[in-house]
Structure 1
Amino acid sequence: MTIDTGGYAFPKLPHFNFRSSAGQTIANNTTTVITTFDTATSDTHNFCDTTNKRIQFSSTTAGTYLITYGFKVNNVTAARIGAWIKTDASSNYIGYFETGNCSAYQHQTWTFMNTFSATDYIYLVVYQNSGGNLTFYDDSTTTMGYPHISGVRIG
């Protein structure tokens, strides 16, 4: 339990926010694992695995989570751009988004709930077919365009 500045007690829920501090190129017509996750801006229970670029659950953090992920790209001319959250080596897709051509900036975020076991881990995968390479939008002042994933235990 923690006590906030107003004097209210509440449970300290396991949570994380993991992001990239640099861009990554997504090649045309290729499914790419995001390998630039390197900054944990919040990580109450050592979720953020900067070596393997993923979120790792443990026996003390297993449970149901609300997960949000996203990124920003510019000048999207792809007929298709998709992002998935995958879990473990079994390559199960547990979160998915897809959009088409907009010829402008796109900053999409997606949210879902899922129950994770003690040995589960999740990571982000992106696909695009613009005819050329696609890069994440670089906002050097906020890094909001770079890939990010966050979660909080809700059950």
Structure 2
Amino acid sequence: MPPHPIVVVAHDLRSAYNVGSIFRTADSAGLAGVVLTGFTATPDHRGVAKTALGAEDAVSWRHVEDVHDAIAELRAEGYTIAALERLPEAVGLGDVPAEAFPLALVLGNEVHGVPPDVLDAADLVVGLPQYGVKASLNVSVAFGVAAYGLVARARALRGSG
């Protein structure tokens, strides 16, 4: 099966273990690829390899130092840029419009989230409803929820449920 029209951009993630988990989820969900930006660890880092369990070899990936260069490259490739963040204007996964696909989902740093300048560069913000006191998810967990929600949305829009 061809990959789903979604790539993930992992920007300035501090934990190599989160990066490895993102690779595993991207592979499992059948995403088109992973883009690592800033100081996010690459698959040659021991922690990434330890948690990715070989998924880093199954998923197309690239490292682009500057996140804005990565956004420009992805936009030129036809991707809509979506940031995953908790903001009032965030669109729910089931409400992402058809024209947003193919979609590049930008994840931000575990502590600071997606930086304001990257939010400004995004075409839309996608959010997850959160009901608890902390209203906080680990970045790799949030990505897993978002990845599968976006795959379901893309498949529903294509009529392949």
TM-score by shorter chain over 0.5: no
- The structure with the larger Rg is 1
More helix by share: 2
Report the TM-score when normalising by structure 2: 0.24
RCO greater where, 1 or 2, for CA within 8 Å and sep 6 or more? 1
More strand by share: 1
